[in-house]
Amino acid sequence: MLNIALPKGRLGEKVYAMFERAGFECPAIHEENRKLYFENEALGLRYFWVKPSDVAIYVARGAADIGVAGKDILLEYRPDVYELLDLRVGRCRMCVAGPRDFRDDPGRTLRVATKFSNIASGYYASIGRDIDVIGLNGSIELAPILGLSDVIVDIVETGTTLKENNLAVLETIVPISARLISNKASYVFYKARIEELVRAISREVET
Ligand code: PRP
């Protein structure tokens, strides 16, 4: 069995559809229930739905042979996995955002609220700016509104969340999309199968 971890939710469904079109189908997955794993014994495939930010953990530790994770998670946690393919779905960007009229005062430490402490620290280190990272788990947009931080580092997809909270993108740090990743040992063990899968799925990637 090749174990495949997919991110639970809309992105995961889109990604599964790509796997299905590429010939790696598992019809049981369409059954409406709360089951979290599905098998196609004939094809030797087992899919399971995991929280998007956990996919890389399953793959790095070998509980899944391959999986699909956002580039944001790969940059933030640097899991020990191979990144095999950019699936070009789940596209968004990692940005610095803040009040529309925000002007940075270089004389003060910049307070940055984020779920992505490593990405934020790396970005500001690269431009030589001292920051105080404020780690939050969600609703990051509230931080500058309530004066908890000056700016935020967060994912922007449509920009609606920022707009509706009177914030704007100040800088784009890096584009993000979903990536096919592999456990390093599994890649050696299942090399032919995984390479075949990568070839087939790359034909389903929209250019
Ligand atoms: C992300 C991000 C923003 C929002 C951006 O949150 O943190 O809040 O999406 O999307 P938009 O530009 O299309 O408005 P997510 O929905 O992943 O939930 P979270 O607050 O739990 O991070």
Q: What is the per-residue burial (b if ≥16 Cβ within 10 Å, else e) of 126-139?
A: eeeeebebbebeee
**Choice from 51, 72, 157, 166 to test ligand 1 binding pocket (greatest atom count within 8 A of CB):** 157
Atom of ligand 1 nearest to the CA of 163: 14
Residue 31 has a pLDDT of 87
Is residue 32 scored above 80 in pLDDT?
A: no
> Where residue 34 falls among pLDDT bands split at 50, 70, 90?
confident
Q: Stretch 27-46: mean pLDDT, rounded? A: 92
**Residue nearest atom 22 of ligand 1, based on CA coordinates:** 138
**Tens-digit pLDDT profile for residues 152-173:** 999 999 999 999 999 999 999 9
| 131-135: strand order across its sheet | 131-135, 110-114, 151-156, 92-99, 167-176
**C-alpha of residue 155 to centroid of ligand 1, in Å:** 6
Ligand 1, CB within 6 Å, residue ranges? 138-140, 154-161
What does pTM read for this prediction?
Answer: 0.94
Atom of ligand 1 nearest to the CA of 160: 14
